């Protein structure tokens, strides 16, 4: 077996969902877009539905179709990207609820699927998805008369609770929506953590379910175990890996492990990242290759057959720091070559 | 359709293989590990087999099993990772040829599968995979008496033809193998380009097949077309995307497009990358999100429904420069959410 094993703890995901749900009084949905942040939308959503989640969010109608196939009828599936040209059949057949992002999308929706449920996405300052305040003013009365099932917006800086943008967006969202009858939603994981003012009628955690910051108390969800192919002695002056970027200064012992950037182990993390051989932290040496990584195992006494890149000793956020990115990208980058094992603890 | 469309030109891959094959007199294999660098090993390998390729390389036995299912019997499938513990059944059933990397692997192989074909991988200086010179000296006579089907090594610096490591590894490989009867292989794409001294009996191009450097004349293979969800005016002082990292200095027009780092558009490329709207180059603004990217479309006269991230206007290596990585990682990062279309031009 040169195949690495990625273990995904559905029990931890459910526990994280319960913990986030306990922090607010409204409904707690679950964001399972991007294949549940790379962890498998079908399995994750089914586990969360069994746990009591009734509403799921995806990014694109195509994802919604796939998710509907996994969940069957019953749970609500909302689509952040809204109603795109060509989506009508998907939305109708899979019973999806598009979040309408613009007047164009609104016209498209009522023309193609009159009476079909929809939500409204508003831009409260992120300038990414949703209607601008002026656009919303023009459309508001007509849209509300059609009974949107949800009116929502999204925070740009909720990973940093102290950022002034949060309060600005909260006030903007309130100005745009105070007094309407439709249920409202503003908070993803960061907003849940920031407290009741951000919760409204529904929260939509994503990264917190999967064990990532800014939900500090999250239970870890993924672990990755990588087989060792071989171990060699490297003399001072010899180099390891592509481009001779690492040169041994002392007599060294180097393990070659069977995973690489093709498995989503982001190449940029090479100079700063570590793996764990049993209880020993071992530095990655040389450039991360497509399928292979060199590791300095000099300090290891009893060399194991496998090493751990993430799991008990190391979180997705630690890896993200090494790669200069965020835990979200560590998860969504996880490749397709792993043996994926689902457990529930 | 919020789904982006990734188009893979199998005709271009075949043309690249033919061009590389024409540059050397020996057999030209094809490296299709990591799902053919993310492009789909089954389709790529079948196209190349139809083109005349008779030998394929994968990284792990599990990949070989999958490839054997796609190719059927006949083509040779070699496994760089060699014979790992637990691989014997896979190797026998899928008729794989492990490249033996160590004395441990050699013992494992002859014990579990006596008489089953194998190759030998030697370390000529990269210190990643393969037997060290001393190890090889000890095993050489016994190994050669078992008729290995190939003796190979791999270059650490072949992306840079002027690097002194290439000549060092060439001489080391010759010292380790001159005079043996078994076929020899040293060159991947970079080695093919460097000329006849590196070609030996078999070359093993990978990246060059898929349109990447260092095969400068390669035909481009992939193009990626991303739908535009909406376009908005952004006033000076307003920010776009997460963390408010981009702030409009002048009145701007921003498109939100439907792809992100979950699709393998590496988050780190945000500050430097562009997309193309028709014939107009447009800067990415703000942080790349999981499913969405903001683009400054101010200069665009007739806004199209879709923009191009890679393809006619922009190569994988241009994107790699923007992301601070190599074209290889651009390819292997390509996500699973695309509508993948295979063409042959």
Out of B181, B210, B239, pick the residue that ends a domain: B210
Measured in whole angstroms, the distance separating CA A224 from the mean position of its chain's CA atoms is: 17
Contact list in A for residue B66 (CB cut-off 8 A) is none
Check residue B212 and give its pLDDT: 94
Mutate to test the interface with A, among B99, B332, B336 (most CBs of A within 10 A): B332
Of residues B37, B60, B104, nearest to A258 (C-beta): B60
Radius of gyration of chain A (CA): 23
Interface contact flag, B62 A37, Cβ < 8 Å: no
The domain tally of chain A equals 2
Mutate to test the interface with B, among A1, A2, A322 (most CBs of B within 10 A): A2
Kindly identify which residue of chain B lies nearest to residue A258, measuring between CA atoms. B81
Kindly identify which residue of chain B lies nearest to residue A227, measuring between CA atoms. B84
**Can you tell me the distance from the alpha carbon of B85 to that of B104, in angstroms, rounded to the nearest whole number?**
10
Quick one: pLDDT band at residue A217, thresholds 50, 70, 90? very high
- Does a structural domain hold residue A1? no
Q: Are residues A287 and A310 in the same domain?
A: yes
Tell me the CA distances in angstroms from B294 to B233, B274, B329, one per residue in order. Answer: 12, 10, 22
Q: Are residues B171 and B54 in the same domain?
A: yes
Find the helix or strand (DSSP H, E) in which B259 lies: none
Interface contact flag, A129 B234, Cβ < 8 Å: no
How many other CB atoms sit within 10 Å of the CB of residue B268? 20
Of residues B35, B160, B290, nearest to A336 (C-beta): B35
Mutate to test the interface with B, among A59, A233, A253 (most CBs of B within 10 A): A59
Pick the catalytic residue: B43, B46, B210, B242?
B242
- Does a structural domain hold residue A4? no
Q: Are residues B200 and B261 in the same domain?
A: no
Enumerate the β-bridge partners of residue A306.
A227
Q: Are B287 and B267 in contact (CB under 8 A)?
A: yes
- Does a structural domain hold residue B2? no
- Range of the structural domain that residue A84 is part of: 10-210
Check residue B114 and give its pLDDT: 96
Q: How open is the CA angle A245-A250-A253, to the nearest 5 degrees?
A: 80
Q: What is the pLDDT of residues A238-281, one digit of tens each?
A: 999 999 999 999 999 999 999 999 999 999 999 999 999 999 99
Contact list in A for residue B234 (CB cut-off 8 A) is 127
Shortest distance between the Cα of B66 and any Cα of chain A, in A, equals: 11
- What is the token pair recorded at A216? 């500090």
Kindly identify which residue of chain A lies nearest to residue B160, measuring between CA atoms. A243
Q: Are residues A196 and A254 in the same domain?
A: no
Of residues A105, A165, A333, nearest to B244 (C-beta): A165
Enumerate the β-bridge partners of residue A206.
none
Quick one: pLDDT band at residue A159, thresholds 50, 70, 90? very high
Pick the catalytic residue: A43, A46, A242, A342?
A242
Contact list in B for residue A254 (CB cut-off 8 A) is 127
Tell me the CA distances in angstroms from A143 to A135, A140, A150, A184, A274, one per residue in order. Answer: 11, 5, 11, 14, 53
- Does a structural domain hold residue B174? yes
Q: Are residues B274 and B171 in the same domain?
A: no
Interface contact flag, B238 A102, Cβ < 8 Å: no
Contact list in A for residue B266 (CB cut-off 8 A) is 266
Contact list in A for residue B60 (CB cut-off 8 A) is 2-3, 258, 291, 337
**Can you tell me the distance from the alpha carbon of B288 to that of B267, in angstroms, rounded to the nearest whole number?**
5
Q: Are residues B204 and B262 in the same domain?
A: no
Quick one: pLDDT band at residue A32, thresholds 50, 70, 90? very high
**Can you tell me the distance from the alpha carbon of B217 to that of B208, in angstroms, rounded to the nearest whole number?**
9
Mutate to test the interface with B, among A230, A236, A293 (most CBs of B within 10 A): A230
| Positive or negative: CA dihedral B242, B281, A264, B8 | positive
Whichever domain contains A289, its CATH number is 2.40.37.10
Interface contact flag, A290 B34, Cβ < 8 Å: yes
- Does a structural domain hold residue A217? no
Strands A151-152 and A119-121: parallel
**Which residues have C-beta within 8 Å of that of residue B105, sequence separation ≥ 6?**
A230, B82, B83, B84, B98
Shortest distance between the Cα of A192 and any Cα of chain B, in A, equals: 17
Shortest distance between the Cα of B188 and any Cα of chain A, in A, equals: 13
Per-residue confidence of chain B (345 residues) as pLDDT tens digits? Answer: 899 999 999 999 999 999 999 999 999 999 999 999 999 999 999 999 999 999 999 999 999 999 999 999 999 999 999 999 999 999 999 999 999 999 999 999 999 999 999 999 999 999 999 999 999 999 999 999 999 999 999 999 999 999 999 999 999 999 999 999 999 999 999 999 999 999 999 999 999 999 999 999 999 999 999 999 999 999 999 999 999 999 999 999 999 999 999 999 999 999 999 999 999 999 999 999 999 999 999 999 999 999 999 999 999 999 999 999 999 999 999 999 999 999 999
Shortest distance between the Cα of B213 and any Cα of chain A, in A, equals: 15
> pTM above 0.95?
yes
Contact list in B for residue A268 (CB cut-off 8 A) is 268, 324-325
Q: Are residues A260 and A326 in the same domain?
A: yes
Interface contact flag, B127 A234, Cβ < 8 Å: yes
Annotation marks residue A242 as catalytic: yes
Quick one: pLDDT band at residue A16, thresholds 50, 70, 90? very high
Q: Are residues A192 and A229 in the same domain?
A: no
Check residue B223 and give its pLDDT: 98
Residues A298-304: what's their mean pLDDT?
96
Shortest distance between the Cα of A339 and any Cα of chain B, in A, equals: 10
Q: Are residues A126 and A234 in the same domain?
A: no
Interface contact flag, B261 A332, Cβ < 8 Å: yes
Out of A210, A237, A261, pick the residue that ends a domain: A210
- Does a structural domain hold residue B4? no
Tell me the CA distances in angstroms from A222 to A8, A81, A91, B113, B260, one per residue in order. Answer: 5, 28, 32, 36, 22
> What number of residues does chain B have?
345
- Does a structural domain hold residue B77? yes
Map tokens 């188009």 to a residue: B7
Interface contact flag, B262 A33, Cβ < 8 Å: yes
Find the helix or strand (DSSP H, E) in which A274 lies: strand A274-277
Out of B210, B242, B277, pick the residue that ends a domain: B210
Check residue A122 and give its pLDDT: 98
Shortest distance between the Cα of B248 and any Cα of chain A, in A, equals: 11
For chain A, the average pLDDT equals 97
Interface contact flag, B328 A129, Cβ < 8 Å: no
Q: Are residues B26 and B174 in the same domain?
A: yes
**Which residues have C-beta within 8 Å of that of residue A195, sequence separation ≥ 6?**
none
Annotation marks residue B33 as catalytic: yes
Q: Are residues A98 and A187 in the same domain?
A: yes
Contact list in B for residue A256 (CB cut-off 8 A) is 128-129
Map tokens 């800086």 to a residue: A157
Q: Are B81 and B90 in contact (CB under 8 A)?
A: no
Question: Which of B243, B234, B207 is closest to B315 using CA atoms?
Answer: B207
Whichever domain contains A111, its CATH number is 3.20.20.10
Quick one: pLDDT band at residue A189, thresholds 50, 70, 90? very high
Q: Are residues A159 and A228 in the same domain?
A: no
Measured in whole angstroms, the distance separating CA B239 from the mean position of its chain's CA atoms is: 37
Helix, strand and coil in chain A, % to nearest 5: 35, 25, 45
**Can you tell me the distance from the alpha carbon of B168 to that of B171, in angstroms, rounded to the nearest whole number?**
5
Contact list in A for residue B241 (CB cut-off 8 A) is 126-128, 156
Question: Which of A136, A100, A140 is closest to A118 using CA atoms?
Answer: A100
Contact list in B for residue A81 (CB cut-off 8 A) is 2, 229, 258, 291
Check residue B76 and give its pLDDT: 98
Shortest distance between the Cα of B105 and any Cα of chain A, in A, equals: 9
- Does a structural domain hold residue B216? no
**Which residues have C-beta within 8 Å of that of residue B187, sequence separation ≥ 6?**
B24, B155, B158, B194, B198, B199, B200, B203, B204
């Amino acid at each position: 077996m040169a195949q690495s094993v990625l273990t995904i703890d559905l029990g931890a995901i459910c526990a994280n969902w319960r913990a986030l749900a306990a922090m607010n009084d409204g409904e707690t949905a679950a964001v399972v877009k991007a294949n549940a942040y790379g962890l498998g939308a079908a399995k994750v959503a089914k586990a969360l539905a069994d746990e009591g989640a009734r509403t799921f969010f995806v990014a694109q109608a195509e994802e919604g179709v796939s998710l509907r196939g996994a969940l069957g009828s019953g749970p609500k599936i909302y689509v952040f990207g809204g109603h795109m040209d060509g989506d009508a059949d998907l939305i109708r057949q899979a019973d999806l609820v598009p979040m309408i992002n613009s007047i164009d999308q609104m016209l498209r929706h009522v023309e193609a699927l009159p009476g079909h449920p929809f939500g409204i996405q508003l831009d409260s300052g992120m300038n990414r998805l949703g209607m601008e305040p002026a656009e919303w003013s023009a459309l508001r009365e007509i849209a509300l008369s059609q009974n949107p099932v949800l009116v929502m917006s999204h925070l740009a800086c909720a990973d940093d609770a102290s950022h002034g943008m949060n309060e600005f967006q909260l006030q903007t969202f309130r100005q745009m929506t105070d007094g309407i009858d439709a249920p409202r939603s503003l908070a993803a994981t960061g907003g849940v953590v920031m407290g009741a003012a951000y919760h409204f009628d529904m929260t939509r955690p994503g990264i917190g379910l999967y064990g990532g910051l800014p939900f500090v108390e999250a239970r870890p969800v993924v672990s990755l175990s990588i087989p060792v192919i071989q171990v060699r002695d490297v003399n001072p002056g010899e180099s390891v890996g592509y481009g001779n970027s690492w040169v041994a200064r002392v007599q060294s012992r180097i393990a070659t492990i069977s995973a690489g950037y093709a498995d989503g182990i982001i190449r940029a993390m090479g100079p700063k990242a570590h793996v764990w051989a049993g209880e020993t932290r071992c530095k990655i040496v040389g450039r991360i290759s497509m399928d292979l990584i060199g590791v300095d195992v000099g300090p290891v006494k009893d060399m194991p057959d496998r090493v751990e890149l993430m799991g008990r000793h190391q979180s997705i956020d630690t890896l993200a720091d090494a790669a200069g990115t965020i835990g979200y990208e560590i998860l969504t980058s996880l490749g397709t070559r792993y043996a994926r094992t689902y457990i529930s603890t």
